[in-house]
Amino acid sequence: MARRYDPDRRQRIIDAAIAVVGERGIAGLSHRAVAAAADVPLGSTTYHFATLDELLVAALRQSNVVCLADFARWVDGIDPAAPLAEEVARLVEETLSGDRRRMELEYELYLAALRHEAVRPVAAECLDEMVRLLGARIGDLRTARTVVALTDGLVLQHLLTGQPFDPEVVRAGLARVLG
């Protein structure tokens, strides 16, 4: 039997892994579930990704591309005349008013690094790139790292609690923290 030429198979497997995590969470990720979602033989998933950690790394890398592109757009749009606290509050508000399922998926993949050591460097690379982007814009890497951490915390807490976002409360709190 001739081998089927399928140059997009690896990408379909990554896309399927992201879809599986989005639907079932990290606990629902398996080679079998991904193979079914990608409509490929089970052996294809293990051929391209010998372990689930390899698959998680690829899924997080792909998710990070979208996340970093959004963050870079925000950084480019920062108004240098506006207080940084106001700009950060705008980022959090825009993030929370976006696609909630996408945000949950991004955080699920990101937080997988807590239990999957192979994923940690990929999560750290994304954070470091966010700090680099913001730091280049505002001229202070320490503040940039703090802003990235604050933003993550604010978004994650709102996703977890479901509390309504109050931009004024966030602006005032950030202004006190950022000075």
Q: What is residue 3's predicted lDDT score, i.e. its pLDDT?
A: 57
Q: What is residue 6's predicted lDDT score, i.e. its pLDDT?
A: 80
Question: Which pLDDT tens digit goes with each residue over 119-160?
Answer: 999 999 999 999 999 999 999 999 999 999 999 999 999 999
pLDDT in 10s for each residue of the chain, 179 residues:
445 778 899 999 999 999 999 999 999 999 999 999 999 999 999 999 999 999 999 999 999 999 999 999 999 999 999 999 999 999 999 999 888 888 999 999 889 999 999 999 999 999 999 999 999 999 999 999 999 999 999 999 999 998 888 888 888 888 888 77
Q: What is residue 178's predicted lDDT score, i.e. its pLDDT?
A: 79
Cα angle for residues 32, 40, 104 (degrees, 5° grid): 60
Q: What is residue 2's predicted lDDT score, i.e. its pLDDT?
A: 46
Closest CA relative to residue 150, chosen from 99, 95, 113: 95
Cα–Cα distances in angstroms (integers) from residue 73 to residues 28, 43, 66, 104, 126, in the given order: 33, 39, 11, 20, 15
Can you tell me whether residue 32 is helix, strand or coil? helix
* Separation between Cα atoms, residue 175 and residue 66, nearest integer Å: 28
- Please give the model's pTM, rounded to 2 decimal places: 0.89
Q: What is residue 173's predicted lDDT score, i.e. its pLDDT?
A: 86
Closest CA relative to residue 123, chosen from 71, 63, 69: 63
Cα angle for residues 11, 111, 103 (degrees, 5° grid): 70
